[in-house]
Amino acid sequence: MKLKKLDSTIRSVYYLLNYAFILVFIGFACQAPQKEVSEITPTPKKVSIAEIEEGINAYIAEKTKENDGVFPVKDEEHDLKMKLVRVHTEYLSNLGPERHFACVDLVDESGDVYDVDFFMEGKPGDMTVTQTTVHKLNGKPFYSWKQNKEDKTWYRIPLEQSSNQLLGIVEGADSFEFYYRSQVPDLSGDAKMWIPVAVSDHYQTVQVLDMKLAGITQEIEDAKFGNRFIYMELGPEDSGKEILVTYSVERREKGPYEAPEPDDELYLVSNRLMPIGGRFEEIAKEVLGPKINDSHLIQARALYDYIIDNMRYMKFGDYGNGDSNYACDSKTGNCSEFHSFFISLARSVGIPARFAIGASIPSDRDEGGIDGYHCWAEFYAEGKWWPVDISEANKYTALATYYFGRHPANRIELSRGRDLEVNPGPESGPINFIAFPYLEIDGKEVKANSSFSFLRKGKS
């Protein structure tokens, strides 16, 4: 018995010693030698978006200083003098080991916006721009990119042709007849009606071919913006009458155009539904961040992109009044909300901006009805007025570059400005904006049945 007990005790001690040895061995095995730790190759640092943007901005600033305030861009087909609009770091792509590219929007002296690919080589914090190549002109590409399936690098392929027409744009020039129709409702008493009359300017030549009116008529004008109107005093005898104005229109594609410094009392102030300051100033400054010290051109592009990214085109609720507060709260609306919001933000940080309204002529057919009015905006920077169409850019993101600085040829402008003051004027006060007729009965606005249509004569 004693031997068996002793034998059992020895075995227990043996097992305990072995177990302890295993624990010690595992402990040592889980600790890599210090020398081996120092020999592990660190993971290469990835180039950040901020570093790319900082490098491009520094490069452009240096070259701009060296070249009397302009940035030169040269490739096989272009020799341009440019100014920075925006760096598209969201398109940062890998072209191979330590080689990247990013897209940059630059504008030349004529106002054309070029998308330029910047090619860079090197490590984070030490990247050098090795080449610049013009990729797009006003959103229209000269070439495209394709990825190599084997090594995942990217290379260029030429585009034989490129057209924006399927997305609603007529480039160059357009020619059409435009029919402005409205019907006087049944009247039991007196009423007043104002309709805008399109005027010619550098980008549109309009001729009135026929005018069918009602009641006692008078031609009037608003002194601030130069809009023309037909004012009509109507009575029960005019009930049901059709009002028709037929135009012949020659329209050119609109780009940035030189103009004297605008009147701050018109383009840097609040309107009834386009206030400035307060939360609009706070939002604008938050959007701009460090860009608050950049040019108005760069700032306007940042505000333009902010609205594209944060608003939805939606005809729901109390839309269609061009109310910046409604746009800010709901982040929805039609073209009037998109551009009113932009104007409130722009004016709040000192960028002159203005509103205009008319109609967009379909590009994919040559006659028929038009789906209501369309409005747009312009801002002033670099000695020019810059056209923008943010609601269309929101619908067709591929055209976001085009619509920053361009309005297509297939449209007609009927009026411009907000809070329009005319004499005789409505009892309710200045007209918010006008495309369709403004009809007033007993001191209140009443919607008149109205429509637009067209017949195209030719494009060029």
Q: Give the count of alpha carbons within 13 A of 98, CB side only.
A: 11
Cα 204-344-289 angle, rounded to 5 deg: 115
Strands (E), 68-142: 71-74, 79-96, 99-108, 113-123, 126-137, 140-141
Residue 74 has pLDDT above 50, yes or no: yes
pLDDT digits 0-9 by tens, 289-334: 999 999 999 999 999 999 999 999 998 889 999 999 999 999 999 9
The percent of residues in the chain predicted with pLDDT above 70, rounded, is 82
Would you say residue 280 has pLDDT above 90? yes
- Asked whether residue 384 carries a pLDDT value surpassing 60, the answer given is yes
Judge contact between 398 and 386, C-beta under 8 A: no
Cα–Cα distance for residue pair 337/58, rounded to 1 Å: 36
* pLDDT value of position 143: 72
Q: How far is CA 235 from CA 191, 215, 422, in A?
A: 6, 7, 21
pLDDT > 50? residue 412: yes
Q: What is the pLDDT of residue 116?
A: 86
Q: What is the DSSP string of 215-281?
A: SEEEEEE-TTT--EEEEEEE-GGGTT-EEEEEEEEEEE-B--EE-PPP-HHHHSS--SSS--SHHHH
Alpha helices by DSSP H, 32-84: 34-38, 49-66
Distance of alpha carbon 344 from alpha carbon 276, whole angstroms:
5
Is the confidence at residue 16, as pLDDT, over 80? no
Distances (CA, A) of 424 to 373, 407, 429: 25, 33, 11
In the chain, the N- to C-terminal Cα span, in Å, equals 116
The pLDDT assigned to 18 comes to 45
Answer whether residue 106 shows pLDDT above 80: yes
pLDDT of residue 221: 96
Tokens 């399936």 — which residue? Answer: 149
Q: What is the pLDDT of residue 217?
A: 98
Choice among 18-22, 204-208, 216-220 with the minimum mean pLDDT:
18-22
H/E stretch holding 174 reads: strand 173-183
Q: Which of 245, 280, 266 is nearest to 420 (CA)?
A: 266
Residue range 214-229: mean pLDDT, rounded = 96
pLDDT at residue 182 in the model: 97
The Cα–Cα gap between 402 and 388 comes to 9
Using pLDDT thresholds of 50, 70 and 90, give the confidence band for residue 145: low
Separation between Cα atoms, residue 329 and residue 332, nearest integer Å? 8
- pLDDT band at residue 36 under the 50/70/90 scheme: very low
Instruction: Provide the pLDDT for residue 132.
Output: 83
pLDDT at position 180: 98
Joined tokens for residue 108: 């030349």
Average pLDDT value over all residues in the chain:
85
pLDDT reading at 431 higher than 80 = yes
* 3-class secondary structure, 91: strand
More confident call, 285 vs 98: 285
pLDDT band at 3 (very low <50, low <70, confident <90, very high): very low
Assess whether pLDDT exceeds 50 at residue 33: no
pLDDT over 70 (residue 144): no
Are 145 and 154 within 8 A, CB to CB?
Answer: yes
pLDDT for 2 equals: 38
**Three-class SS of residue 383?**
coil
3-class DSSP string for 321-382 = CCCHHHHHHHCEECHHHHHHHHHHHHHHCCCCEEEEEEEECCCCCCEEEECCCEEEEEEEEC
Residue the block writes with tokens 């495309």: 435
SS3 category, 28: helix
CATH number, domain 254-435, options 3.10.620.30, 3.30.930.10, 3.30.830.10, 3.90.1300.10:
3.10.620.30
For residues 331-342, give the mean pLDDT.
97
Q: How far apart are CA 439 and CA 238, in angstroms?
A: 13
pLDDT score for 163: 56
Which residues is 360 bridged to in the sheet?
411
Whether the pLDDT of residue 85 is over 50: the answer is yes
CA distances from 334 to 77, 340, 421 (A): 40, 10, 24
Please say whether the beta carbons of 124 and 47 come within 8 A.
Answer: yes
- The span from the CA of 448 to the CA of 439, in Å, is 7
The mean-pLDDT minimum among 104-118, 259-273, 446-460 falls in 104-118
> What pLDDT does residue 256 have?
97
Rounded to an integer, what distance in angstroms lies between the CA atom of residue 194 and that of residue 434?
9
Closest Cα partner for 369 from 84, 178, 91? 178
In whole angstroms, what is the distance from residue 385 CA to residue 300 CA? Answer: 12
